[in-house]
Amino acid sequence: MRKIVIDPVTRIEGHLKVEAIVDDGKVKEAKSSGTMFRGIELILRGRDPRDAAVITQRICGVCPTSHSTASNLCLDSAFGLGGSIPDNGRIIRNLILGAAHVSDHILHFYHLAALDYVDVTKVATYEGNNATLNSVKDFIQRGELGPFVPRYEGDYRLPAAVDQELVVHYVDALRMRRKAQEMCAIFAGKMPHNMTIVPGGVTEIPTIDKIASFLWRLNELRTFIDNVYIADVIAAAGAYSDYFEIGAGCRHLLSYGNYDLDGKEADLTKRNRLFKQGTVSPDFKLGHLDVNAITEEVKHSWYEDSTTGRKPLNGDTVPKDDKAGAYSWIKAPRYNGQVYEVGPLARLVTTYLSGDPKVKALVDPALAKFKAKPDVLFSVLGRHLARALCCKIIADEMPGWLLQLKPGEPVYQPYQIPEEATGMGLVDGARGALGHWIEIKNKKIANYQCVVPGTWNMSPRDDKGQPGPLEQALTGTKIKDADNPFEIVRIIRSFDPCIACAVHVITPKGRTLSEFQVE
Amino acid sequence: MKRTVVLGTGNELFKDEGVGVHVARILQTKLPTSSSDVEVIDGGTSPDIWSLIDGADKLIIIDAVRGGCEPGTIYRFTPQQIVADRGLITSVHQMGILENLSLMELVGGKPKETVIIGVEPKELEPGLELSPELQKRMPKIIQTVLEEISSCIETKV
């Protein structure tokens, strides 16, 4: 049998390439490019509208639940169901999305971001009886550094004992994610792709058994989030507090909110949600969400210039791969022509500024711990802290929702597919504002557009030449060692990119200093 | 009773990249639903497949694999035979099969035996359907997996 060198096509959801020009120890310019044309919109044309919810889940292996939610909200609106989702259906949708987001936030911190701050190799010197640490030590000694090695030699600052404790939590976090996946499966059916969210509600009926089964797992997760996850984020932040000053970005935030708290409002921009909808300006002023302010610009993307500046509903996806000045397959979504960051930070700050007392009671003490003003939230650590607090807020809310379920009452609203209609679905996925738009003609999809969180955050320059949020967050960053630019990697990871990413560091003259090709 | 999990992975939005998912769907219709000793999972591109294959005796993974042979070529190998240098991981969207198996070793529940059935892809652009080459090979791919399930095949394919 010959040895096969795999070119892993498994995770082929598109790649992100970040190119940073480093001059005099600083990032002078950064370019973020999506390297693959996805064309999901073209696949959907001419299909039954209901296929959208099934097919768009496949855009992403991590975020199928967010896409399923956005797509079904979009179909609700096109089918005229937006204001008539039964409470059971609305709550079960919230529980499915909530369990998925709890799992996702834990996944991101422990199984990805923590490796930027925790030196797993310190376990090699462990001399004790902890079974987990000995098993990790065994991995390291066999040379199988597996999935959790520091991919990147950074400046690791935590004492060995704290590093080791965090490695134990890394493994505990896996068990917690399993619980969260099981919670999803209780109401979403066979994971990873949920089949139970449908236009008008859900198909899964609530039973006492399911409620108890969900609650039992949720209680364990809440204990973990309170005592381990948030404590670990704060411990890491204490040792790396300079990362409160790194990676600020565009300082404009946009949230679609998520988790509908009642089912009566059809208008997706006026919903009463747990996480609020709106925009945040650099001076922390809250703005109302105006969906008409959203456009997608393509001057620096490989699409026909004639399609630039359109609203998503009228958007078009016409590839043009030989366009001068273009460097990305990602379009540049803008809000009132301005650059906006989306994600947990946007959700948290929008909700905080809208005066939610429970959120204030979480954010204020966290900031007080670091003697910091809210302004520091625009940073690498601010994003991690926001993600952890969002995880806690949703986990704390779910027990109450479970108790509002009413076994025996309806879970969905019946519907008919209209001959012609338009629809919009807005929801914050784990990584931020996710919008689906549909146009139906002759009961078939005439146009479908998705504007995903990664498009906002990783967007290239727009028609005015303004760099995207990640590009702005990287620009100006001091790089201690251009051969080892851990600052860049930490900034990228804080955004929790939707797609795999390769980093290229070059000098102003174009000489490559270092290159980290992923996959 | 021995439990076998058949896991089809990949992204079906990119034609042949989704071959594992197509195989899983076909097998789900072919295998008796009452059978609790064989479970077929359409894993898509989820980073959480490790939590779904907990405690299997045998895991059979079906995926698109580039080995450099003709499109439609079927490979059979074990994780130990793979050279994989995955480099820098920046996104949770990169948690691959091998990471998943390593994670299972840490957290418990790693299958006693894992076999990967790889299929050489032809077309990887947007589209829901497999290339004609792979469509033609589908009966052979299914047969290979069924033989693997019954564990009475040679290692040569």
Q: Are A254 and A282 in contact (CB under 8 A)?
A: no
CATH number of B72's domain:
3.40.50.1450
> How many Cα atoms sit within 13 Å of A49 on the Cβ side?
32
Whether residue A54 lies within 8 A of chain B, CB to CB, comes out as no
Joined together, the tokens standing for residue B132 give 């004609």
CB atoms within 10 A of CB B37: 10
Q: Do the domain assignments include residue A194? A: yes
Q: Are A286 and A272 in contact (CB under 8 A)?
A: no
Nearest to B91 among A12, A177, A500 (CB): A500
What confidence tens digit (pLDDT) does each residue in B62-121 have? 988 877 789 999 988 887 776 544 444 444 444 567 777 777 888 888 898 999 898 988
DSSP state of A200: T
Whether residue A516 lies within 8 A of chain B, CB to CB, comes out as yes
Q: Do the domain assignments include residue A4? A: no
Cα–Cα distance measured from residue B141 to residue B149, given in angstroms and rounded to the nearest whole number: 12
Q: Do the domain assignments include residue A7? A: no
At A483 the pLDDT is 75
At A39 the pLDDT is 74
What confidence tens digit (pLDDT) does each residue in A467-501 have? 999 999 999 999 888 777 888 888 988 998 876 55
In the predicted model, residues of chain A with pLDDT beneath 70 are 1-15, 37-38, 144-154, 499-519
DSSP state of A440: E
Among residues A404, A496, A58, A100, the alpha carbon closest in space to that of B126 is found at: A58
Q: Do the domain assignments include residue A68? A: yes
Among residues A492, A417, A434, A15, the alpha carbon closest in space to that of A246 is found at: A492
Looking at the structure of chain B, the number of domains it has is 1
At A515 the pLDDT is 45
| B45·A178 Cβ contact <8 A | no
Which site among B40, B50, B75, B94 would you substitute to test the A interface, given the most A Cβ atoms closer than 10 Å to its Cβ? B94
> Order of strands across the sheet with B58-64?
B38-44, B4-9, B58-64, B113-119, B74-77
Does the pLDDT of residue B39 top 60, yes or no?
A: yes
- Could you give the ipTM of this predicted complex? 0.84
Q: Are A349 and A280 in contact (CB under 8 A)?
A: yes
| B44·A496 Cβ contact <8 A | no
Whether residue A56 lies within 8 A of chain B, CB to CB, comes out as no
Among residues A34, A38, A56, A13, the alpha carbon closest in space to that of A319 is found at: A38
| A55·B65 Cβ contact <8 A | no
Q: Which domain holds residue A502?
A: 15-516
Whether residue A152 lies within 8 A of chain B, CB to CB, comes out as yes
At A70 the pLDDT is 97
Among residues A375, A364, A106, A384, the alpha carbon closest in space to that of A236 is found at: A384
Q: Do the domain assignments include residue B76? A: yes
Cα–Cα distance measured from residue A296 to residue A47, given in angstroms and rounded to the nearest whole number: 24
At B44 the pLDDT is 85
Which segments of A405-476 are extended strands (E)? Answer: 420-429, 432-441, 444-451
Q: Do the domain assignments include residue B20? A: yes
Q: Do the domain assignments include residue B79? A: yes
Q: Do the domain assignments include residue B30? A: yes
Residue B58's DSSP bridge partners are B4, B113
CATH number of A487's domain:
1.10.645.10
Q: Do the domain assignments include residue A489? A: yes
From chain B, the residues in CB contact with A502 under 8 A are 88
Helix axes A87-111, A160-188, angle to 10 degrees: 150
At B1 the pLDDT is 65
Residue that has been written with the tokens 């701050």 in this structure:
A117
Q: Do the domain assignments include residue B54? A: yes
Q: Do the domain assignments include residue B80? A: yes
> Order of strands across the sheet with A253-255?
A253-255, A278-280, A286-287
Q: Do the domain assignments include residue B154? A: no
What confidence tens digit (pLDDT) does each residue in B145-157 have? 999 998 633 333 4
Q: Do the domain assignments include residue B21? A: yes
Q: Which domain holds residue B37?
A: 4-149
Nearest to A175 among B10, B42, B107 (CB): B107
At B143 the pLDDT is 95
- Write the single-letter amino acid at A98: G
At B65 the pLDDT is 82
Looking at the structure of chain A, the number of domains it has is 1
